[in-house]
């Protein structure tokens, strides 16, 4: 006869599975739970074959609950069935961000580098907050860099620069150092020439489709073996208009046999038609024809600004690999790089700044602060506190694991902040009128505005009409157990013939407390 868990054991196993899912952020492991269970319950070891599938199923269920309903739901469940496990977890739980690695004697310099093709989204707030918190912790510098050298696919929005700067200040309380990439084109061009002179790059005249086939076959492009002088001449042709958009690109010379195709002679500069499609910044406009692609521009700027640490999403690992190859050609030391995984908010789904911009321009949304959008502007309009966003991202930390959380996880942080600084008011749904009878009630009473803030001005409630409202559900629940209950901060009452007879102003204790207005 196969083994079956009794009620106590079932609850214990479920609790361990929930705690495991919480510890591993929705990636709980059955083996870990089984090891703990067998270590503490030697009597179950003989039933290992029966215990294992039970644990596996409960671990899968706990992971699904974490994914669908978030960590707060798991904690609530543990609070009900095994609060001691939760207490242990809280004690062991990391507070704040992990230590920043490789902090030397010099200044810590970090950067947040958005493309200003629109205002900031909820996802951007992660980079702003994490980088700024480390800058504060080490008395370092936070750079706000506008990576705005793409005028074709992600054209900058002129109004976004000032608004993004203001949003960063709102989120961090810092005034960051501002760098605008499009205003530093001379530095990028200088480094392009240096790289060509070192034979670390070449001007490629292949079409995009042709080079795609060359890269796929791991062969070398014929332009790769051009003399330095020829490359410099072609560079000048790119700049002066003898070559047109699509005719040529500058490629960083790497290794065409590298396992990762993205790293094989990657493009660093291209020609952009800024005559018909000028840069929106008035001081830039059509001044430049040859523009750096992001991986080159970002890498060079990080070096010029002495960036010590780069903290960003793991989806940019290929960018790191490209840039490391570029740094090696210049003999530079690449910054310490830390990655985080994707965070998906259930209610937001997928979105992009480019698509939001199109939808605003088409009239689908009223603006960047339309409350239906996952933007910082929309969150501010809805009353979200910057401290709530900070607490949310710091709690998630820097794990590379992809996670999905409900919006309620963010709102819970906002609620805590609002709750501590806002006076309380009373509200009842489905109100039921009660007539108060006798008992020597005053015409008004004074109640605290907040249970933890005696300095808040108390509320004065007029009860001279001797009629109050309670919530019907509370009233029905109270009467299902007794005809007596206590009106919060007011009096003990007894319901007789539909009226509330006051039996005592002071609490007799043991009665259900019902709030009222």
Please return the burial class of 336, using the count of CB atoms within 10 Å of its CB with bins 0-12, 13-18 and 19+.
middle
Question: What does the DSSP 8-state code read for residue 65?
Answer: H
Instruction: Please say whether the beta carbons of 252 and 246 come within 8 A.
Output: no
Spatial contact of 318 and 263, defined as CB atoms under 8 Å apart: yes
Helix intervals (H) in 382-449: 386-396, 407-421
Cβ–Cβ under 8 Å, residues 3 and 51: yes
* DSSP code, position 375: B
- pLDDT averaged per 10 residues in sequence order, the chain, 517 residues: 79 92 88 85 82 91 88 88 71 71 92 98 96 96 98 94 98 96 98 98 97 96 97 98 97 97 98 94 96 98 98 96 98 97 83 93 97 96 96 92 87 89 86 83 82 81 86 85 86 85 84 86
Count of other CB atoms within 10 angstroms of residue 131? 25
Cα–Cα distance for residue pair 143/410, rounded to 1 Å:
26
Q: What letter does residue 273 receive in the DSSP assignment?
A: -
Label the pairing between strands 109-112 and 141-146.
parallel
**Residue 464: its pLDDT value, please?**
83
Q: In the chain, how long is the greatest CA-to-CA distance?
A: 104
Q: So what's the pLDDT on residue 87? A: 66
Return the pLDDT at 426: 83
| Sign of the torsion angle spanned by Cα atoms 450, 452, 457, 458 | positive
CATH among 3.40.50.300, 2.40.240.10, 3.40.50.1360, 3.30.360.10 for 431-514: 2.40.240.10
Q: Do the two domains 109-197+275-340 and 431-514 of this chain adopt the same fold? A: no
CA distance readout (Å), 304 to 16, 290, 333, 335, 450: 51, 20, 12, 12, 53
Tokens of 176: 């960051």
Domain boundaries, the chain: 7-92, 109-197+275-340, 431-514
Say which residue the tokens 């013939």 belong to: 497
Output the pLDDT for position 91: 41
Structure tokens at 46: 């003989």
Residue 255 CA, chain-centre distance (Å), reads: 36
- SS3 string of 202-267? EEECCCHHHHHHHHHCCCCCHHHHCCHHHHHHHHHHHHHCCCCCCCCEEEECCCCCCCCHHHCCCE
**C-alpha triplet 108, 317, 151: angle, nearest 5°:** 85
CATH number for the region 109-197+275-340 comes to 3.40.50.620
CB 114 within 8 A of CB 316: no
Q: H or E stretch including 177? A: strand 177-180
Q: Which two tokens stand for residue 149?
A: 């050298």
Give the C-alpha separation, 203 to 239, whole Å: 12
At 90 the pLDDT is 42
CA distance 162 to 164: 6
Distance CA 322, CA 325 (A): 5
CA proximity to 515, closest of 464, 452, 451, 457: 451
């Amino acid at each position: 006869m196969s083994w079956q868990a009794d009620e106590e054991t079932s609850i214990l196993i479920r609790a361990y599975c929930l705690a495991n899912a919480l510890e591993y952020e929705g990636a709980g492991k059955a083996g870990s739970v089984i090891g703990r269970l067998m270590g503490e319950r030697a009597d179950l070891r003989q039933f290992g074959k029966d215990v294992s599938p039970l644990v596996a199923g409960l671990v899968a269920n706990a992971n699904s609950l974490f994914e669908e309903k978030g960590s707060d739901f798991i904690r609530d469940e543990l609070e009900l069935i095994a609060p001691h496990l939760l207490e242990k977890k809280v004690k062991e739980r990391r507070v704040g961000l992990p230590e920043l690695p490789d902090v030397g004697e010099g200044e810590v310099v970090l950067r947040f580098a958005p493309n200003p093709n629109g205002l900031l989204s909820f996802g951007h707030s992660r980079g702003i907050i994490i980088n700024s918190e480390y800058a504060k912790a080490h008395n370092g510098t936070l750079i706000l860099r506008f990576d705005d050298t793409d005028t074709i696919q992600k054209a900058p929005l002129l109004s976004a620069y000032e608004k993004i700067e203001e949003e960063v200040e709102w989120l961090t309380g810092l005034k960051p150092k501002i760098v605008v990439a499009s205003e530093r084109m001379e530095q990028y061009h200088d480094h392009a020439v240096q790289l060509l002179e070192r034979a670390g790059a070449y001007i490629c005249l292949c079409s995009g489709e042709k080079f795609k086939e060359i890269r796929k076959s791991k062969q070398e492009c014929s332009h790769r073996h051009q003399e330095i002088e020829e490359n410099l001449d072609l560079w000048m042709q790119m700049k002066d208009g003898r070559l047109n958009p699509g005719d040529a690109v500058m490629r960083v010379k790497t290794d065409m046999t590298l396992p990762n195709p993205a790293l094989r002679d990657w493009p660093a500069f291209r020609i952009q038609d800024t005559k018909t499609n000028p840069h929106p910044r008035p001081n830039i406009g059509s001044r430049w024809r040859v523009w750096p692609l992001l991986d080159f521009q970002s890498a060079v700027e990080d070096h010029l600004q002495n960036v010590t640490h780069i903290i960003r999403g793991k989806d940019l690992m290929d960018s790191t690999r490209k840039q490391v190859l570029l740094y090696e050609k210049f003999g530079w030391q690449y910054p310490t790089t830390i990655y985080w995984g994707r965070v998906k908010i259930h209610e937001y789904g997928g979105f992009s700044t480019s698509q939001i911009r199109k939808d605003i321009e088409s009239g689908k949304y009223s603006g960047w602060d339309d409350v239906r959008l996952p933007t910082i502007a929309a969150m501010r309009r809805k009353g979200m506190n910057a401290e709530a966003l900070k607490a949310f991202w710091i709690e998630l930390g820097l794990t590379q694991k992809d996670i999905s959380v409900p919006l309620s996880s963010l709102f819970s942080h906002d609620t805590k902040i609002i709750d501590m600084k806002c006076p309380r008011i009373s509200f009842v749904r489905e109100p039921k009128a009660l007539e108060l009878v006798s008992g020597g009630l005053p015409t008004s009473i004074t109640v605290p505005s907040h249970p933890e803030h005696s300095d808040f001005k108390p509320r004065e409630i007029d009860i001279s009409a001797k009629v109050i409202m309670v919530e019907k559900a509370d009233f029905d629940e109270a009467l299902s157990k007794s005809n007596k209950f206590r009106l919060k901060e007011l009096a003990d009452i007894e319901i007789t013939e539909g009226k509330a007879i006051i039996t005592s102003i002071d609490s007799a204790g043991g009665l259900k407390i019902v709030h009222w207005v």
